[in-house]
Structure 1
Amino acid sequence: MSHIKKVLNSSVVLVEKDGKEMVVFGKGIGYGKKTGMSIEDNQVDQSFLPVENIQTQQLLDLVDAISPVYFDITQEIVQYAEQYLGSPLNLSIYFTLMDHLNFAVERAEKGINIINRVYWEIKSYYPKEFHIGEYARTLVNKALETNLPEEEAANIAFHLINAQNSDNQNADGMKYAKMVGSIVNLIRYSLNTTVNTESIHYVRFITHVKFFVERFFADELMEKGDKELFEQIAILYPQAMNSAFKVKEYVGKIYDKEVPNDELTYLAVHINRLLNYNELDG
């Protein structure tokens, strides 16, 4: 049995059990509840322990930034995925998938469709994860009355693939970390503004850069994309695109490798999002 310390929203509550603080969530678990009330263990669908854990802190940030419906949808997707795959996923999937779905719906509502250039590869080489991605896309479209594009099945599958491998030790981890750090510092410097590194928007930005680096070293960069969308983003977000081009110059100089316009488009969208939210936070 756990005792509620704070109701964060209808799906997420902060509790204390055996002297430790935990974040637990489940559909409707916080509805009608107040501080001091108890929750039976069989009411809890997922626990995050301890609160000091960075993933838990990210989840707490998401509570304020994302509608509770995304918690419920993500929980249903993860439960389906673990049953379908026959193995548990890393807890990070709750953060990355919730955030991705929220951002995907935002893009769909604004009519921005960024094509996934590894759609065929994911569909062919990861059929189970792609099937779950299709299930998730259908679920989101129905629950939120939106219309996520077909590519989202592959995008969601990518998060599931990553959640299965995230505990593995990678021999190239330092190489990846170095490139992520260099790109992030370059962008922060080019923006010429103070960035709140504790904000959820900064965490989202870092997540995208990590995925970019993974694609870079796997030789799976998105390319041969939509020239019109690239030009549209360049006009709409000139400062962000300027920063994206600085990343292109850096990668070309250090790694002697071209960054396609598709990647610049996607990177600029995330940089602009970071910039806008940072101004609002300030």
Structure 2
Amino acid sequence: MKTIINSGIVVQSYNNNIVCVRIDGKEKILFSKGIGFGRRFGDKIEEGTEVERVFVIEDEDNLKNFKQVIEKVDEDFFNVCEKIITSISEELNEELNERIHIGLTDHLNFAVKRIANKEIIENPFLMEIKVLYQTEYMLAKKAAKILKDEINVIIPDGEIGLIALHIHSARNSGMLSNTIKNAYLSNMIIEYVEKKLKIKIDKNSLDYARFVTHIRFAIKRMLIDSPVKNDFIWEIKCKYKLSYSIAKDVSKVLGERLEKKVSKDEIAYLAMHIERFRMATIKKN
């Protein structure tokens, strides 16, 4: 429970359990059982009032979208979603982007309905998500357990992966599109390498984990223009000709998607990872 230090004025009562209150010049969302019952615009929330949760949504569009989500989500289910968001924030010991109250709640609402109708969505990025966002995936599994305990719905692995994307997005400026784009890029690159080498990469292997992780950090380096140094470009280019050629093609894809130039140093590192896949297949055969 949290205690309201200064009194506030009700801006809007969303339902029996959620109100928007102006406190110290800021609009805050207060969540507590019965706090919105009978409340109207202008009513006072006394200092010392105890509430379950407090959060701030500053962006006007987000606030509008938040209201729309509340209107279509059952109150009890919204409570479960907020419990999940609070547990994630507390476990990470960090504030999450305000959009998570909208994006994750909306996603979970539809996910539970899909599962009830036996409409299971395949997640083509699941393995990439598990490797790229290990912490977020672990938290998503805990979120799935809360849903199982609270509403007796079993969340499949694919949906857990999507929850992890929402968590990662909330930790990184709230842009879910960027998170999905990176997972999509990694998946596309893996499929391209498989096609060129005529192999099937073991997505449970250490080589796979290393490669996907490298792609993740390569994308970050390119986006912030922080080049990496590789002193063995010539040796890699000469010794691993096929892998280097594939790496060059991969770099073109990365460059076009990110609208950034991929350095020769980066290409050489990609070639090293691709060569590991090639050699692992040769050893198996």
Tell me the TM-score range normalised by the shorter chain. Answer: 0.5 to 0.7
Residue 46 of structure 1 corresponds to: 54
What's the CA shift string for 1:26-61, capped at 9, x where partnerless? 2315353422141546526223344x6111111011
Q: 1:215 to 1:118 in 2, by over 3 A?
A: closer
The structure with more radius of gyration: 2
- 1:110 is displaced (CA, Å) by 0.9
Moved more, 100-109 or 214-223: 214-223
Return closer, same or farther for 1:70/1:211 CA change in 2, 3 Å cut-off: farther
Could you tell me which residue of structure 2 aligns to residue 78 of structure 1? 85
Which structure's relative contact order is higher, taking Cα pairs within 8 Å and 6+ residues apart? 1
Could you tell me the TM-score, scaled by structure 1's length?
A: 0.56
Residue from 12, 16, 22 that aligns with 1:6: 12
Picking from 32, 37, 56, the partner of 2:37 is 32
8 Å CA contact 2:8, 2:45 repeated in 1: yes
Give deviations 1:127-173, integer Å, cap 9, x for gaps. 221111111111112222223223222111110111111268xxxxx
Report SS of the residue matched to 1:9: coil
Matching residue of 2:243: none
The answer to whether the 8 A contact 1:137-1:153 is kept is yes
How much identity, in percent, do the aligned residues show? 21
Paired residue secondary structure (1:139): helix
Q: Secondary structure at the match of 1:16?
A: strand
Q: Tell me how many residue pairs correspond in the alignment.
A: 184
1:174 is matched with none
3-state SS of the aligned residue for 1:146?
A: coil
Please, which of 99, 111, 116 is the counterpart of residue 104 of structure 1?
Answer: 111
CA contact (8 A) 1:74 1:98 kept: yes
Question: Partners of 2:173 and 2:189 in 1: how far apart?
Answer: 20
Q: Residue 128 of structure 2 contacts residue 183 of structure 2 at CA under 8 Å; is this kept in 1?
A: no
Q: 1:27 to 1:139 in 2, by over 3 A?
A: farther
CA contact (8 A) 1:133 1:152 kept: no
Match for 1:133 among 120, 137, 140? 140
Secondary structure, aligned partner of 2:14: strand
Map 1:124-163; keep pairs closer than 5 Å: 124-163=131-170
Letter of the aligned partner of 1:25 in structure 2?
Answer: L
1:52-75 CA distance string (max 9 Å, x none): 611111101111111122332222
SS, match of residue 13 in structure 1: strand
Structure 2: stretches of 5+ with no match in the other structure: 1-6, 192-255, 258-285
